Structure 1
């Protein structure tokens, strides 16, 4: 397998004011994830793990197969993007996690960490 550090995960979070209900402590965030495969082999995204930390310090963990119901194959030099959402009970939080991949021959699995990224509603300085 090529150098797995050549797999990069970019995150773009966005507050969804139209779907949020601050008076009900419901804050909705959309996030777009792009996985770039800079290795020389096709990889498959098998599973996800997220840790969501609310501004209060409460944590939630999410695990599951693939992303948005898919376990995409990502060819060398290609990218895969998807958009999902998280609902918090506070206007600020942090998400971080990892994806589990396998190589093209399904002989080796490996994890790629997803760096923490901030979820923040308007006018939040957390």
Structure 2
């Protein structure tokens, strides 16, 4: 698990290779990632947007951004967390992602960025 804390918001990421949705012979590798966003601050926050930098092991870079996460813009109370699962496909058997969430403190509408730590997705046979 990879974790980082920015302005009282803890972001933790776990990844898993999805062989049933992958086709290595066609250069298609699918990974799932589970993200837990924990509000360690004293303020209620809302996740508004996300931006991803996605890299595969051949050097290809993609940038993805948009509103919310998996169709939601969760409000997270102090001491609470929000967890979701999403996925990413690569043309190589290794890749990485990192990014940021745009958040807002609901009490004063202050916008701030929360870092998503870089995490790696590697097919299990590459780890041997």
Q: Which runs of 4+ in 1 moved over 4 A?
A: none
User: CA offset at residue 105 of structure 1?
Assistant: 3.0
What is the aligned partner in structure 2 of residue 111 from structure 1? Answer: 113
User: CA offset at residue 122 of structure 1?
Assistant: 1.7
Q: CA RMSD in A?
A: 1.0
The answer to whether residue 31 in structure 2 is matched with residue 29 in structure 1 is: yes
Query: Matched residues in 2 for 1:60 and 1:47: separation?
Result: 17
User: CA offset at residue 119 of structure 1?
Assistant: 0.5
What is the aligned partner in structure 2 of residue 93 from structure 1? Answer: 95
**1:3-62 residue CA offsets vs partner (Å, 9 max, x unmatched):** x52101000010001100001100000000000000011100000001110000110000
What is the aligned partner in structure 2 of residue 47 from structure 1? Answer: 49
Query: Matched residues in 2 for 1:27 and 1:86: separation?
Result: 8
* Alignment size in residue pairs: 122
**Equivalent residue for 2:81, pick from 79, 84, 103:** 79
**TM-score, normalised to structure 1's length?**
0.93
**TM-score, normalised to structure 2's length?**
0.92
